[in-house]
Structure 1
Amino acid sequence: MKCDHKNTGMTMTMTPEALPFADLPLEEQAYRRLRQALVAGVFAPGDKLSIRRIAEALGTSPMPARTALRRLAIEQAVDVLPSGTAIVPRLTRPAFLELSTIRATLEPLATRLAAPRLDAATLRTLEGLLAEHDAARAAGKPEQLLRVDREFLFTLYRQADAPMLLGMIEALWLRRGPLFWEARWVLMSQPGDKAHRHGPLLEALRKGDAAVAARELEAEINDATRVLLREMRFQGDPPANILPSLGKAPRARAKLTLG
């Protein structure tokens, strides 16, 4: 599913990545595809997801879309208005810090569990994704950068063979995805050696050093958290016109209007 953020109308199209859900009941398909889209950062904070438009994008009747939105509301991934329209929520600073703190515990744990299970084929896949990541950064393509970053990490996490842990991480990414989409140009603006630690992480995995790989990932998550807390506006922040007097002006804010 793709969402066009260049105008006020939401345009969504289904992508091939949704096809594995084709054999599931329509309500389950709708839920999983919307969940996948939120994890991927297809939607930005504040986006409105009407039942009608979701149904059109999914090619279903309104009922599966309505059920999917209700399930996502229970997971606190969206807020549903009385009209039935869902809104992608904007995190508060404390909520984002809590989310990041939990991520910095669970995702390194998945890395430690995955490290001894990696085979040569998976390492080659990770190497290829790292090359794609670097190419996306060099080409100035933040959307591709986010996609490859997600694929790199979840390729690693799935090797942990820990379904409960993977589900917890995916639930965190439901809330993470929209913010990172909005912040894609901020993330793109970071120097390459500061933006992520996939290279040292992968090198540690090649050596079978799970502890070092986990520490690299924890540091990467904490680095991104500090950048976004500094650069982004969150729910409940003071109005932008008084931020300079508080010394908290979002320095890269102009870039957020691109894309």
Structure 2
Amino acid sequence: MLRPPPGTPPAPLGFARISGFAAVGFAFLIVAGNVVLVPAGLPRTGSGVEEVEGFFRTHGDLVGLGSAVTPLAWVLATLFGAGAVRVLWRSERDRGEAWALLGFAGLVLQNAVFTGVVAIRLALASTAADGVGAASGLWALHDALFTLNGTFLAVALVGLSLAGLRAGLIRPWHGRWGLVSAALLSCSAVLTPLVIDHDGPLGLLGLVGWLMWVVWIVVYGLVLMRPVPAPPAPAGR
């Protein structure tokens, strides 16, 4: 078996590829969490207090199960963002831009906001089980945070889509897909008062944007998994 020349570095699983796996893992976990809760009847944005109290009183254990995967999902999202910035940083620096950093900031902020969303769900499950009537105020806060979080998803999509396009990392259709998703999520966030007060078609803006975001991050992860060519060795070696 041929050995590599002396001084040749090993070929471990690079940070970019690890962050690509993290992106796919993040998408899998957030979809899995919804697969647990949505079929059970998780109330939609704008649902009435009676429906909310009934769901969290009956399915408190499911809420806990669905929430259990979210800390790992946030770690994976952050890892994905760091890997994307690492790959794009040289191109961004050469152009004097920071779109990738903008996208990374969006990922971190959406993690923070969704921490509040999950915390409220757990609080609703706990208070409903104890017979404490806290659903009215908590669910309104949940809906507001959940819908406004589209702002930070849009920031992540715009930043990393533009950075990837300008660096030639992602394909044009992928970048356009991300920008359309960002537009839908931004519109949903701007219309938050109407979305949370009316159980109607406006909620579809955020839903479609979110589904597009899941596809976008999976494809981005697959892009980061591709082997990155090693830089040429300096002359004279």
Tell whether the structures are fold-level matches, with TM greater than 0.5. no
Higher relative contact order by CA 8 Å / sep ≥ 6: 1 or 2?
2
Q: State TM-score, norm by structure 1.
A: 0.28
Q: State TM-score, norm by structure 2.
A: 0.29
Larger helix percent: 2
